[in-house]
């Protein structure tokens, strides 16, 4: 057993190379072992490209060893024709006799079919090695397929006395109030690059005019998701600059007379459960994960609807005494650490 864990651990290490590039595909790692030695390794290519098993098999110099090898994969090999042909067939074609799988793929196109196909072809298949770790690595993918909604990360920065913003009057300067430090900002840009969507509510756009992109990190920009019931956001706002796709959730289509570049309009009923309707639309758009960066009202509405998976909070050294209260969330605090002078905590439900 220990030997299997060792190689699945290596698969997980390899899989992580795909963070931020494979989605909506999961990150997967594969290792091929012959006579106690690794003879091939691979991980999922950027979206639309090769699966991990294909890259691992390609990397083996002496293919004649494959019919006496074991292939380790952190996720069940696929059995369907998607953007690429089935990995289970490729394994059978190369006559690899033994397959060790971390966790079953919950995508309804696969879910057990890959294992079945391998076993039917006479492969010896072992399933469920470091299952928890394999699931955790692709938490976005698994949440999307099981709960039919994106994986939701809530993020905010609060002062030592629990405020996320100062009191601001209408027409006040359009500048965000900084609570966390510049290292935290860079970390947030890294986080943005890891998710498929980034969401904020109307007031945050009106007050801060945020770009919601990845400027302080190298990576791809997430799709912008904006809630604006009665289209109060001015068309000059950065979120409508067309540089990145924006999904705009509104209820008044008529006011949206001039078509905006790269903006997809989603009509919802603002008198109903908004977070759930947003999730339904995002699921249809195959957005597997989002980070919600404010404001307090939007964050709290997702907490109240029980639609969140992770909360990341920076606690700065500042004291505001009054202002906009930080959202209230109950859960298990996973860890706390310092980012420069600020502290940072993660909470899960
Ligand atoms: C694997 N190995 O490395 C990954 C798998 O459209 P396709 O062909 O790219 O298929 C996408 C689906 O394949 C994806 O939703 C998931 O079920 C599985 N991903 N499978 O055998 C891999 N990334
Ligand atoms: Zn595959």
283-295 pLDDT, tens per residue? Answer: 999 999 999 998 9
- Site to substitute for ligand 1 among 51, 71, 103, 114, most atoms within 8 A of C-beta: 51
- 163 within 8 A of 323, measured Cβ to Cβ: yes
Average pLDDT, the chain: 92
Q: How confident is the model at residue 301 (pLDDT cuts 50, 70, 90)?
A: very high
CA of 63 to the centre of ligand 2 (A): 19
Determine if ligand 1 sits within 6 Å of the CB of residue 51: yes
Cα–Cα separations (whole angstroms), residue 349 to 41, 309, 338: 36, 6, 22
**What is the pLDDT at residue 343?**
82
DSSP for 165-198 reads E----TT----PPP-S-HHHHHHHHHHHHHSSEE
CA of 151 to the centre of ligand 2 (A): 22
Q: Of ligand 1's atoms, which has the minimum distance to the CA of residue 25?
A: 14
223-235 pLDDT tens trace = 999 999 999 999 9
pLDDT tens by residue, 159-215: 999 999 887 665 455 556 778 777 888 999 999 999 999 999 999 999 889 999 999
* % of residues, the chain, pLDDT over 70: 94
Q: Does the beta carbon of 77 sit less than 6 angstroms from any atom of ligand 1? A: yes
* Residue of minimum CA distance from atom 10 in ligand 1: 82
* Residue 7: pLDDT over 90: yes
Q: Which pLDDT band, with edges at 50, 70 and 90, does 129 fall under?
A: very high
With a CB cutoff of 8 Å and minimum separation 6, the contacts of 220 are: 20, 21, 193, 214
Distance, in Å, from the CA atom of 166 to the CA atom of 226, rounded to the nearest integer, reads 22
Mean pLDDT of 122-142: 97
Count the alpha carbons within 13 Å of 169 in the hemisphere toward its beta carbon.
0
Q: Is the pLDDT of residue 156 over 70?
A: yes
Ligand 2 midpoint to CA 31 (Å):
14
Centre of ligand 2 from the C-alpha of residue 52, in Å: 7
Classified as helix, coil or strand, 291 is strand
Point out the ligand 1 atom lying closest to the alpha carbon of residue 78.
21
Q: Mean pLDDT over residues 22-36, rounded?
A: 96
Greater model confidence, 341 or 289: 289
Q: How confident is the model at residue 328 (pLDDT cuts 50, 70, 90)?
A: very high
Residue 299's pLDDT is what?
Answer: 98
Confidence of residue 252 (pLDDT cuts 50, 70, 90): confident
> Is residue 347 over pLDDT 80?
yes
Token pair, residue 345, equals: 């905590």
Structure tokens at 117: 């196909």
Calpha distance 53→46 (Å, rounded):
14
Question: Whole-prediction pTM value?
Answer: 0.90
The strand pairing partners of 346, in sequence order, are 312, 335
**Any catalytic annotation for residue 195?**
no
Nearest CA to ligand 1 atom 14: 25
Which of the residues 41, 53, 158, 195 is marked catalytic? Answer: 53
Going by pLDDT thresholds of 50, 70 and 90, the confidence category of residue 141 is: very high
In DSSP terms, 43 is beta-bridged to: 29
């Amino acid at each position: 057993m220990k030997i299997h864990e060792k190689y699945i651990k290596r698969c997980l290490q390899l899989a992580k190379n795909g963070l931020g590039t494979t989605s909506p595909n999961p990150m997967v790692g594969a290792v091929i072992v012959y006579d106690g030695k690794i003879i091939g390794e691979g991980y999922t290519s950027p979206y639309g490209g090769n699966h991990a098993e294909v890259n691992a098999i390609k990397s083996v110099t002496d293919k004649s060893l494959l019919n006496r090898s074991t292939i380790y994969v952190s996720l069940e090999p696929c059995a369907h024709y998607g953007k690429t042909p089935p990995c289970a067939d490729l394994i059978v074609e190369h006559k690899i006799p033994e397959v060790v799988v971390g966790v079953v793929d919950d995508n309804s196109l696969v879910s057990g079919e890959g294992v079945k196909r391998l076993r039917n072809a006479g492969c010896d298949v072992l399933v469920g090695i470091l299952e928890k770790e394999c699931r955790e690595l692709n938490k976005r993918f698994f949440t999307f397929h099981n709960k039919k909604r994106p994986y939701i990360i809530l993020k905010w920065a609060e002062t030592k006395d629990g405020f996320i913003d100062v009191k601001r009057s209408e027409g006040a300067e359009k500048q965000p109030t900084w609570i966390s430090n510049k290292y935290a900002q860079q970390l947030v840009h890294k986080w943005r690059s890891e998710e498929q969507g980034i969401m904020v509510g109307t007031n945050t756009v009106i007050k801060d005019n945020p770009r919601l992109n990845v400027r302080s990190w190298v990576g791809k920009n997430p799709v912008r998701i904006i809630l604006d019931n009665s289209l109060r956001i001015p068309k000059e706002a950065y979120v409508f600059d067309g540089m990145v796709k924006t999904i705009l959730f509104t209820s008044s289509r008529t006011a949206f007379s001039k078509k905006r570049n790269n903006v997809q309009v989603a009509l919802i009923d603002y008198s109903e459960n908004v977070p759930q309707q947003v999730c339904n639309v995002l699921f249809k758009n195959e957005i597997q994960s989002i980070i919600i960066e404010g404001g307090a009202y939007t964050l709290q509405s997702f907490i109240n609807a029980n639609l969140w998976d992770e909360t990341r909070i920076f606690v700065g050294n500042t004291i505001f005494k009054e202002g906009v209260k930080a959202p209230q969330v109950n859960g298990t605090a996973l860890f706390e650490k310092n980012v420069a002078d600020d502290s940072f905590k993660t909470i899960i439900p």
